[in-house]
Amino acid sequence: MRRTHSAARFLLSAALMVTTAGIAAPTATATAAEAESCTWTRTALRMPAGALAGSVTAADGEGGYAGALSYGAHSEKNGAAVWKNGEFTAYANLNDPDFQNRVAVHGLNDAGTVVGDVHRQATGFPAAVHSRNHGMERLPELPGAYASRAEGINDHGDVVGGVAIDDEDGNRWHPVLWPADKPGTVVALTGLPTGTDAIATGIDQDGTVLVSVGNGFGEDTPYLWKDGEARALPVPDRTRDVVTRGMSNGRVVADVTSYEGPPRSVLWDRDGEPRVVSRNADIRGINRDGQIVGRTDDPSWREQGVWRLTALDATLKWEPDRGLQLLVSSDDGTIAGRSWAIPGGRDEPTVWACR
């Protein structure tokens, strides 16, 4: 999806360079092998005049990044943005006064299509959208729906997410697919447990869909769905809840809470078996090569990490004058998210490359 290790105990410091003048350079801490091979270099992506804040929340795997920009509360300019090849593209908001002037971006594919959701003015309920002709357009919903979300897109153009319906069978979310080969249609995913909330949270390039299925008590289990057939992923012993975070090239990552012990971040490799990601406290994304980003278990909450499968490869720490959060692991090996000046700085869309 385009939106996406044993413990490293001996770490060396490496300077994290910056390509935007006037911004202090944080430090990256890496394993000895990685420190010899590259340095994580930060680039703050250009924001247009008047933009106050922004963040990268998706990548196309080929040097393109997507996210949202803010020009201030309720500004008509707030909306989705894409950066690629030195060019910046802003997408107009949904042309509907019933919806707020902002969009949450959850996915970007190699054709440049952005997916996400917008929120209704009156209720705050989300509605799934995709980009079209430099603007945002609503995706169709199932009959009786009052809300929807688009959570991911693959390079074929298939979009996945969920639709909420309140009918005689109850009020719950249903996982859906918006197929690229049938524009203007939405398909409910079958073959999954029924009678409870479920939502599709990601889609791989081969069409495999990651689905989070609830148990009615606010606890979820991950399933893989393809061509009408679904199977539950095995979970670690004593698992209570699983929050899926991404899938790519047959792998799945999630944050797992247990009935006993601390929360854990988990990787399901292509063999389908769950493995704990060393020192990861909050997974945020994975790419096709198994490069994972997120927050480490450092008690300060000010250390971000880069993992190769379950092994911690590098850490990027806050500096006294700059904070950061990693949200995206792109297929081209770059990582992205947001950084901000301390004190009082606003979020800046930021990319790091290992050079």
Kindly report, residue by residue over 4-25, the tens digit of the pLDDT. Answer: 332 222 222 233 333 332 223 3
Average pLDDT, stretch 197-205?
A: 98
Question: Please, what are the domains in the chain?
Answer: 11-354 (2.130.10.120)
At 2 the pLDDT is 54
At 19 the pLDDT is 33
* Sheet strands side by side (includes 114-119): 104-108, 114-119, 126-132, 135-138
Residue 319 pLDDT > 70: yes
Mean pLDDT lowest among 32-41, 175-184, 242-251, 323-332:
32-41
DSSP string, 305-338: EEEETTEEEEEEE-BTTEEEEEEEE-TTS-EEEE
Other beta carbons less than 10 A from residue 38's beta carbon: 15
At 10 the pLDDT is 21
Whether the bond between 343 and the residue before it is cis, its omega within 30 degrees of 0, is: yes
Look at residues 145, 144, 53, 162 and name the one whose alpha carbon lies nearest to residue 106: 162
pLDDT in tens, 85-109: 999 999 999 989 999 999 999 999 9
Instruction: Grade residue 340 by pLDDT with cuts at 50, 70 and 90.
Output: very high
55, 347 contact by CB (below 8 A): yes
Mean pLDDT lowest among 11-15, 221-225, 304-308:
11-15
What average pLDDT is seen over the chain? Answer: 90
At 20 the pLDDT is 32
Distance CA 55, CA 234 (A): 34
Distance CA 259, CA 262 (A): 9
Distance CA 326, CA 350 (A): 9
CA 204 to chain centroid, in Å, comes to: 13
Percent of the chain whose pLDDT exceeds 70: 90
The pTM of the full predicted model, rounded to 2 decimals, is: 0.89
Average pLDDT, stretch 78-90?
A: 96
